[in-house]
Amino acid sequence: MRKVLKALARPFTETAGLARWMLVIGLVITAIFLICALFAPWLAPYGFDQTSAHGTEFVKRQAPSGDHLFGTDRLLFDVLSRTIWGARTAIEVVVLSIVICVAVGVPVGLVSGYYGGWIDRILVLVMDALFAFPSFLLAIVFAFLLTNKLPPGGFSGVLAVSLSLSVIYIPQYFRVVRNTTVSAKEATYVEAARAIGASDGVIMRRYLFGNVVQSVPVIGTLNAADAILTLAGLGFLGLGIQSTDAAEWGHDLNRALADAGSGVWWTGLYPGLAIVLLVTGLTLVGEGLNETLNPTLRRRRLLPVVMTPREEER
């Protein structure tokens, strides 16, 4: 437990100045959205698809008031509730996509970089082919292919979007881990492990894995910010999560386009502001971690040195 707490406190104890403030501000913003995602049933005044309460139907496009702090949209949904529930959808999609990327990209990159040869050439070719496509266009293609292909249910839309995002981010994890493994496998400690008879699996698991995944948290945090924008883009185009399945900020912005010309500003302001704030928070966390974990950018905290006057010799 002491080692875990020390590792968690490392970004704060070993950095100072702008990097530390970026990390703290980013964590605070991200923590607010995490709280909204975890406690959405208790924080949101209504359900994400609720259109009435106590037997009374909501008023269409009602301005912000005491009953609806963020107003209502043209489908009678409460905007505040949709915004809070949208945080849960965004966190679910981001976490699931990053888990899939790490589970696939890290082992494949480790195997490719360690063995090399024809395995490395085939995997590099496949990953470079995926990386060559525009990321958003590739996400649109996979989202279109996965639409109505998964078992029906409220979670099917989240899973389909998560798989679409994973396809565009797996090559990044692969390339980073593979390049690090190529240089790390020639290190002295790896040669010593081979000399004592360690198998390839043991070498990759015990000696290489811990050294090649140090950049993965930074990549995951930055990819999370980009995933929020991609998710919103897919929802805006109607390829993401539908209104009846879950609350999604991009889909709400799409519906808000029809309201912009009639002076209804609240249906698009709050979902858009949520996207901007969460992307900003995740980006600040990623930049702060990058300056903490990257030795070329890291600025360590220096303890003040106090020089005490030496006593005069008697």
Q: What are the backbone angles phi and psi of residue 52, rounded to the nearest 5°?
A: -155, 160
Model pLDDT for residues 59-83, shown as the tens digit of each residue:
888 888 888 889 888 888 999 999 9
More confident residue, 85 or 240: 85
**pLDDT tens digits, one per residue of 234-260:** 888 888 787 777 888 988 898 888 887
* Per-residue model confidence as pLDDT tens digits over 92-101: 999 999 999 9
pTM reported for the whole predicted model: 0.83
- Render the burial of 33-57: b for 16+ CB within 10 Å, e for the rest: bbebbeebeeebebbbbeeeeeeee
187-239 per-position pLDDT tens digit: 888 888 888 888 888 888 888 888 788 778 878 888 888 899 999 988 888 88
Determine which of 85-94, 151-160, 289-298, 304-313 has the lowest per-residue pLDDT on average.
304-313
Q: Please state at what angle helix 79-115 crosses helix 266-293, rounded to 10 degrees.
A: 30
pLDDT value at position 32?
A: 94
Mean local confidence (pLDDT), 19-27: 83
State the pLDDT confidence band at 138, using cuts at 50, 70 and 90: confident
